[in-house]
Structure 1
């Protein structure tokens, strides 16, 4: 299924769903962030996805990271909550989702890097190399907040 991110687009279709999701901001020992290249739109992003019934939101971040990257992680903190109603995600099945994403800080504890059906590539990326990648502005904000390591989480 394909995906189009609409950010501040007055011509975007009206939203018809909200699905809580979680992403994981993970650094390696060289201070590089783990990113996936999404198979649904080709953009680079933090690993993550929709919250399933019966799980804690931290479990969502752990599960989605394993599914998309092959790594096992442990959630260690909260970076922020991202609910911008001007960020809409349009899917090819007709769903238009309003953003609701919780960004978690996590650390790798095992596994092996591997792409999946949801990720064309998985890579450790330095902060200096982020500018060269196609990353939507909302995801870029989450990555910037992860690197900033603020004392209080972002609420927006």
Structure 2
């Protein structure tokens, strides 16, 4: 988040920067933390996993990559089952697919 930014404004800005899409924020899917899940980035930065996931609807823009990504694409639910990904990412997808009213806290 940038100084003076609401979480909704941060989501809208980050999605635009990282995908090229303009979005409307619909709801919070979940809040995820795990002291055992450490992320080491290629630039040497190391962080403990913490994320808040939101459901958004695309309202404009065009799919594009950013300096933080080298490829961006859509997948069907079935295709995601075959993708190699960290188990924490798979949990977020499964939580979204449950369509619960209340956000998950994990």
Q: Which of 15, 34, 53 is the aligned partner of 1:103?
A: 53
Q: Please, which runs of 5 or more residues in structure 2 have no aligned partner?
A: none
Q: Which of 33, 56, 75 is the aligned partner of 2:25?
A: 75
CA distance in 2 between partners of 1:143 and 1:53 (Å): 29
- Taking structure 1 as the reference length, what is the TM-score of the superposition? 0.62
Range moving further from structure 2, 55-64 or 73-82? 55-64
1:117: which partner in 2?
67
Is it true that 1:139 corresponds to 2:68 in the alignment?
Answer: no
Q: Count residues in correspondence.
A: 106
2:80: which partner in 1?
130
Q: Which has the higher helix share?
A: 2
Q: Which has the higher strand share?
A: 1
Question: Offset at 1:94?
Answer: 4.3
Deviations 1:24-67, CA, capped at 9 Å, x for gaps: xxxxxxxxxxxxxxxxxxxxxxxxxxx22221122222111111
What SS does the corresponding residue of 2:84 show, helix, strand or coil? coil
- Please say if residues 58 and 104 of structure 1, whose CA atoms lie closer than 8 Å, have aligned partners that are also in contact: no
Q: 1:90 to 1:125 in 2, by over 3 A?
A: same
CA distance in 2 between partners of 1:110 and 1:95 (Å): 32
- Taking structure 2 as the reference length, what is the TM-score of the superposition? 0.88
Runs (4+) of structure 1 moved beyond 4 Å?
Answer: none
What SS does the corresponding residue of 2:71 show, helix, strand or coil? strand
Question: Offset at 1:149?
Answer: 1.0
Q: Please, which runs of 5 or more residues in structure 1 have no aligned partner?
A: 1-50
